[in-house]
Amino acid sequence: MFLGAPVGADLPYAEISNAFEKNDASQVISFCENPVLLIVDNVEGIYNQAQATMVLMDFFNKHPNGAFNYQFQGKEADEDIYSAAIYAEGPQKINIGIYFSSEAPNKIQSIKLGD
């Protein structure tokens, strides 16, 4: 008998959104695997959580007080759980991709900020 929730049912979508809206880098990174892959403006790096927090803090310092809105939440064709969002800072809109881990339940495997 299967008692667990379906994969993705308990993902912290609202908490992640709130953390982005508050520019709370440590809270965003707390939802990530350790290490985590961050891609910021096409610069890719694998970071431990302390380093990832600093990278994301730098992003928030450059793009403060943006509005975070999900465009898509769910699974892609290959069953990976993926979310797409827009982080809007005034007229600037930054695409965000959040990929959830298939190995660590409810943890973010990678975050892509920018095109």
pLDDT digits over 22-34, tens only?
999 999 999 999 9
Note whether residue 7 is domain-resident: no
- What pTM value is reported for the model? 0.87
pLDDT at 75: 76
Residue numbers of the domain that contains 93: 13-113
Note whether residue 1 is domain-resident: no
pLDDT digits over 40-91, tens only?
999 999 999 999 999 999 999 999 999 999 999 987 656 779 999 999 998 9
Note whether residue 2 is domain-resident: no
Is the confidence at residue 9, as pLDDT, over 70?
Answer: no
Note whether residue 77 is domain-resident: yes
Q: In the chain, how many domains are there?
A: 1
Note whether residue 82 is domain-resident: yes
CATH number for the domain including 103? 3.10.450.50
3-state SS string over 56-100?
Answer: HHHHHHHCCCCEEEEEEEEECCCCCEEEEEEEEECCEEEEEEEEE
Note whether residue 97 is domain-resident: yes
Note whether residue 5 is domain-resident: no
Is the confidence at residue 110, as pLDDT, over 70?
Answer: yes
Residue 6 — pLDDT band, cuts 50, 70, 90? very low
Note whether residue 46 is domain-resident: yes
